[in-house]
Structure 1
Amino acid sequence: MQNQDLYDVTIIGGGPAGLYAAFYAGMREMKVKLIEGKDELGGFLQTYSDKAIWDVGGLPPMKCAKLIEHLVQQAGTFEPTVVLKQTIDTFNHLNDGVFELQTHTGESHYTRTVIIAIGRGVAEVQRLDIHSAKDYERSNLHYTIQNLDYFAGKKVLISGGGNSAVDWALELAERACSVTVVHRQDSFRAMEHNVSQMRRKAEVYTPCHIERFYGNGQRIHQVGIVSTATGETVRLDVDEVIVSHGYTSHVSNLARCGLDMHEGMLVMNQWAETSVPGIFTAGDCAMREGKVRLIAGAFNDAIVAVNSAKKFLEPAAAGMAYVSSHNELFREKNRALHNKPTSSS
């Protein structure tokens, strides 16, 4: 192994936590590699690229796609090495204290510390398990939304009871001809205010579930729904069907690497440390008491994980980086920003 192949920290996962960790590790003058299993950065945000996010501090509401763009740009500030389309299968702790990360492609990556920031893992959508559903996935059966305007003027049926289903119903109520929401329980797993709005703006069937599609093998024309309480069935005319039943992930694969897990998530302490010294974690893949499951919380996790990794490598290092306004690393970058010409109105 040559020195140029050894990194101070390797971040596994290219979502908000991983991207911010890459930036912050650059502030700590660490040699950084970021490995992402998919062919693009952004993590789970890519699933909802057309949805608006309101709760990131200091930023106006923006679509996920735009937030990803900003995060990727920020992560590249200190030019980390980025590897796409590789997932980590195993961790080997070598005699010299170096971790060897082996990927599903057979490649190995060498690093002195690791930050696991894989979010919900390699997420797979929970597909609808009814006859002929797969036949319509190329036409008007959707498991995510990339372009809200595609549904303008159409009769849309949404199956699901979580935040995503409710959010999509509210977004589409402003564009679609009609929105119908079907959920197999009476209560929704979403913000109460949003649920109340949805009930005013959409037709809601609970407790009900999709029983059958009626179509010509190419497009769904009607959906048969059944009441789980009474057994009564109803056929509804539709143009588009959206299924939002959540995702399954493979975070639990990390258990075989000797990392402590609880309820499918990595166990972390207040310093973002896992059960293996030198391996840290951040974001939705981890849990601890008082954990905040927001993007803002993922950023904080990333900072703590990087600072802990830095201290692991250099016990005498400062506990955190200087803020950007006083950090010497930004002196030239600030000068370039001040000298950048402004566009005339």
Structure 2
Amino acid sequence: MHNQDIFDVTIIGGGPAGMYAAFYAGMREMKVKLIEGKDQLGGFLHTYSDKTIWDVGGLPPMKCAKLIDWLVQQAGTFEPNLVLGQSVDALTRQDDGVIGLHTLTGEVHYTRSVIVAIGRGIAEVQKLELDSAHHYERSNLHYTVQNLNYFAGKKVLISGGGNSAVDWALELADLADRVSVVHRQDAFRAMEHNVKQMKSRVKVFTPFKIDRLYGNGERINQVAISNLETGEDIDLEVDEIIISHGYSSQASNLARCGLVMEEGMIAMNQLGETNVPGIFTAGDCAIREGKVRLIAGAFNDAIVAVNSAKTYIEPTAAGMAYVSSHNELFKEKNRDLEKSDSLNGKMK
């Protein structure tokens, strides 16, 4: 038996999909809980907090850290119950249909519906596969970039062929003394425009891989790269190395609690429904035909999942919320904004 509060929807995961789901579920007047395994919201966005984001509709280019701040603020609009530092490990269903979410800390959270938005799950960086690599991880071998200015005036080598590698190359092109990019294939898995820009601004080596690291035991000062087709070796002087080989994701235990998986992700239909009644999904952890793997796509997934959760627990409910410009819930909030704007105008 459960004696705790029962929520209409519990969202598992505090990345873009989870945060927007919390906001939109508030618009649908649902009682919302959000559970995040880390001690802060933002999810995978924190791995590139210093990168500039261009492709969120209606927003100017901004650092990812700023986007996180805005998403967190929006997620709190309707004051959802926020639980940090707990990872959902299993689920059970009561006789009355209420779902119990069991966490690794021993807590149980009760809810009428669930939206799984765990992103990439427990993401582990793909490290450089050289025996000597780990010796330099505390000095000048990096797997993420937290401060662009750290690389100013330095000779930087980037290894990788995805969006992150290309984006870092562009961010550092005018800041570093020299930027070189090494990729095992001729084709890059990144936006075509950005790849074109990168090739015009930095030295690109394809199809090459890092073969050997040379250093003094503390820092790498030279790297040998080899051509995978010809065997040609080239030595490059370096000050800093950035490895951007992507991440491997371990599906959480929740994803194995009867949910159908495809390619390591949770299978969903066009309505965000999984194969388990009452459990919906959104964001990077989900897969379906036509899935859009952008932050903007995560927002759309969240809306669809919330609408499905709403009609699951309340079959007579409307299929979607009124838009914010017509939603009665925002009348008082709009008045508060107008008062604040008026006060700020007087203070100026």
Q: Could you say which TM-score interval applies, normalised by the shorter chain? A: over 0.9
Query: What do the CA deviations read for 1:77-135 (whole angstroms, capped 9, x no partner)?
Result: 11111112222111111212111111122222111100001111121101112122111
The residue number in structure 2 matching 1:107 is 107
Q: What SS does the corresponding residue of 1:169 show, helix, strand or coil?
A: helix
Contact 1:252 1:264 in 2 (8 A): no
Closer, same or farther in 2 for the Cα pair 1:2/1:333, shift >3 Å? farther
Aligned-residue sequence identity (percent) comes to 74
Deviation at 1:178, TM superposition (A): 0.3
The residue number in structure 2 matching 1:35 is 35
Q: Distance in 2 between matches of 1:19 and 1:45?
A: 12
The residue number in structure 2 matching 1:283 is 283
Q: Distance in 2 between matches of 1:57 and 1:256?
A: 34
The residue number in structure 1 matching 2:163 is 163
Q: What SS does the corresponding residue of 1:127 show, helix, strand or coil?
A: coil
The residue number in structure 2 matching 1:303 is 303
Contact 1:131 1:212 in 2 (8 A): no
Deviation at 1:295, TM superposition (A): 1.2
Moved more, 273-282 or 89-98: 89-98
Deviation at 1:193, TM superposition (A): 2.0
Q: What SS does the corresponding residue of 1:181 show, helix, strand or coil?
A: strand
The residue number in structure 2 matching 1:323 is 323
The residue number in structure 1 matching 2:72 is 72
Q: Distance in 2 between matches of 1:303 and 1:6?
A: 22
Q: Which amino acid aligns with 2:168?
A: W
| 4+ runs deviating over 3 angstroms | 1-4, 252-255
The residue number in structure 2 matching 1:223 is 223
The residue number in structure 2 matching 1:178 is 178
**Matching of residue 294 in structure 1 with residue 304 in structure 2:** no
The residue number in structure 1 matching 2:266 is 266
Q: What SS does the corresponding residue of 1:334 show, helix, strand or coil?
A: helix
Deviation at 1:251, TM superposition (A): 2.6
Q: CA RMSD in A?
A: 1.5
Gaps of 5+ in 1: none
Deviation at 1:4, TM superposition (A): 4.7
Deviation at 1:253, TM superposition (A): 4.2
The residue number in structure 2 matching 1:342 is 344
Closer, same or farther in 2 for the Cα pair 1:186/1:5, shift >3 Å? same
The residue number in structure 2 matching 1:9 is 9
Matches within 5 A, 1:12-23: 12-23=12-23
The residue number in structure 2 matching 1:128 is 128
Query: What do the CA deviations read for 1:225-253 (whole angstroms, capped 9, x no partner)?
Result: 12211222222111100000000112364
Q: Which amino acid aligns with 1:266?
A: I
The residue number in structure 2 matching 1:190 is 190
For normalisation by structure 1, the TM-score amounts to 0.96
Q: What SS does the corresponding residue of 1:326 show, helix, strand or coil?
A: coil
Q: Distance in 2 between matches of 1:193 and 1:23?
A: 33
Q: Distance in 2 between matches of 1:249 and 1:145?
A: 20
The residue number in structure 1 matching 2:257 is 257
Matches within 5 A, 1:40-119: 40-119=40-119
Q: Distance in 2 between matches of 1:254 and 1:186?
A: 38
Gaps of 5+ in 2: none
Q: What SS does the corresponding residue of 2:344 show, helix, strand or coil?
A: coil
Matches within 5 A, 1:191-206: 191-206=191-206
Q: Distance in 2 between matches of 1:100 and 1:194?
A: 45
Deviation at 1:342, TM superposition (A): 2.4
Q: Which amino acid aligns with 1:326?
A: H
Q: What SS does the corresponding residue of 2:106 show, helix, strand or coil?
A: coil
Contact 2:33 2:80 in 1 (8 A): yes
